[in-house]
Amino acid sequence: MPINPIIQDVTDRIRKRSAPHRNAYLERVRRAGETGPNRAHLSCGNEAHAYAAMGGDKDRLATHRAPNLGIVTAYNDMLSAHQPFHRFPDLIKQAARATGGTAQVAGGVPAMCDGVTQGQPGMELSLFSRDVIAMAAGIALSHNTFDAAAFLGVCDKIVPGLVITAATFGHLPAIFMPAGPMTSGLPNDEKAKVRQKFAAGDIDRTALMAAEMASYHGPGTCTFYGTANTNQMLMEFMGLHLPGSSFVTPDTPLRDALTRAASERVLAITALGNAYTPAADVLDERAFVNGMVGLMATGGSTNLVLHLPAMARAAGIILLPEDFAAISSVTPLMAKVYPNGLADVNHFHAAGGLQFMIGELLQAGLLHDDVKTVAGPGLSRYTQEPKLKDGVAVWGDGPGQTGNDRILRPATDPFQPTGGLQDLSGNLGTGIMKVSAVDPDLHVIEAPVRVFHDQDQVKAAFRAGEFTGDCVVVVRFQGPRANGMPELHGLTPTLSVLLDRGLRIALVTDGRMSGASGKVPAALHISPEAALGGPLARLRDGDVVRVDARAGRLDVLNDGALDRAPATPDLSANTHGTGRELFELFRQSTGSTTLGASSLFPQEPS
């Protein structure tokens, strides 16, 4: 199927604007690749340190003839999504030995749980942790003893940080190995209803805790379609996972077989063999366009609108907000997974999942098939799904039709003809809204504003009964320069109660919402942020704001509102406690949210 002209135009536009940066990047990668296996250039003392604890693998490492795989792991057993990784290094090493190679844990990276830090001071470190992860993974690979890299990570900032490093070390083949989602527990919509009842004061904390524990109940990724599971989708659409591996549950025979198969595959595509596939070749403009299509088709997390530009910058590619908007305009919304619907990711996977979706989007000409992937050339490989045969993962044809059209629909009969995210712009700046979970009747809200400087103030106003009419809730000074751009997911139950009371409510903020942001119309990532004197800093209670997701507009309507001097609140409390003292450099140097809010790439590309 010929590629859709809009998709091709966006790809060409990205390629043209990125050319100087991409060419310089590829030249650096080429030079790094030409040096051959890095171990050959280490001194005997260097090598002895690297292999001292490797036991029976020492000889193979010292001869340089066998490929050596560096494992970068985000394992900890406080994150349910990452707890399964404790078994992966042994599985990977066994698979490497079976193919004549070796593997070493090169290093670990931090991995915080946004579910634990929601509404807490630690959430102000969350976005910055992405860049810390990228740097920590870079330290792990800086030992220069590896022919390929295996990245073990799942959740919100972890995968984007690891992709930044995979691109930075672009001469190395890189594969991502998922851990899979936890089995289904208390349905997400029932959990959300319990949260709303608690917010309204109808139930006590004991009932709330029982519901939360029944929902988050075991190893694996949380089952709603938030940032973590959006990451997993992205790794398949961009060709960094093995096909069909994203949503296989942890600690199962198929999950283990896929981990072994990924280990064997990445060792087969090093520069020592005949199928050399460096990460730089996988992470090209077409791969990022495919990722954006997947984001829109699945109604994925708004957080990826921040992460994808930062990931792309590491590969010399410049993504801009208009790229997301153009791709959304022609990409159908094919999935309804909570919070966009009642199903969870296990139901989505059972209904045909990513394999059906990729096949449909390829047929519609909305994805580039002519890409390189860790599985081999061509994204069409990702229409195949894995099965277990004699303990080994084998691939066959994936589903040709949906198993449940209430969860997953063909591209020709989607839930809506355009993507799940809507770009916003106007006199209040630029932003993004996740419209896939919002009632179409709420896509346009025009109402007086109430201005707040943190989410606790909103909750206090709610408890005091101050919300009695239609309202646009503005929570400002939540951008990366102000306090690290924390997620404001804790507002979802409160604002949902107001919607259920019949009020027309919208949220406007320079902060973020969780990937699980639901039915509240929320204009997020507003740039320029208030701390830099952006328009949100000039709003006052009573100003009338129009949030229009249909037209893609965000405007204050009363004359003179933006002529005022900006508010300048005291933000000193955000600079200390819970480790925030250590991140002042990030708050001072982080770049624009439209370019990924990264301290690694703070400057506008020339």
Distances (CA, A) of 95 to 60, 83, 92, 353, 392: 15, 21, 5, 28, 12
Three-state secondary structure of 388-420: EECCEEEEEECCCCCCCCCCECCCCCCCECCCC
Q: Are 72 and 162 in contact (CB under 8 A)?
A: yes
Distance CA 371, CA 239 (A): 8
Cis geometry, peptide bond prior to residue 160 (ω within 30 degrees of 0) = no
Backbone phi, psi, residue 271, to 5°:
-70, -10
Q: Are 352 and 346 in contact (CB under 8 A)?
A: no
Distance CA 343, CA 488 (A): 23
For residues 18-47, one letter each, b for 16 or more C-beta atoms within 10 angstroms of the residue's C-beta and e for the rest, the string is beebbeebbeebeebeeeebbbeebeeeeb
Distance CA 592, CA 479 (A): 9
List, in order, residues 6 or more apart from 395 with CB less than 8 Å away.
243, 244, 381, 384, 385, 386, 387
Three-state secondary structure of 243-254: CCCCCCCCCCHH
Three-state secondary structure of 155-204: CCCHHHHHHHHHHHCCCCCEEECCCCECCCCCCHHHHHHHHHHHHCCCCC
List, in order, residues 6 or more apart from 142 with CB less than 8 Å away.
none
Query: Partners of 152 in the beta sheet?
Result: 73
Amino acid at 155: C
Amino acid at 282: V
Is 155 marked as binding a ligand? yes
Cβ burial of 541 (10 Å; 0-12, 13-18, 19+) is: exposed
Distance CA 306, CA 410 (A): 28
Write the DSSP string, 340-355.
Answer: SSSB-HHHHHHTTHHH
**Nearest alpha carbon to residue 547 among 447, 455, 463:** 447
Amino acid at 402: T
Amino acid at 94: Q
Backbone phi, psi, residue 317, to 5°:
-120, 135
In the three-class reduction of DSSP (H, G, I as helix; E, B as strand; rest coil), residue 216 is classed as coil
Conformation bin of residue 582: beta by default, left when phi > 0, alpha when psi is -120 to 50? alpha
Q: Summarize the annotated binding site for [4Fe-4S] cluster as residue ranges.
A: 155, 222
The binding site consists of 155, 222
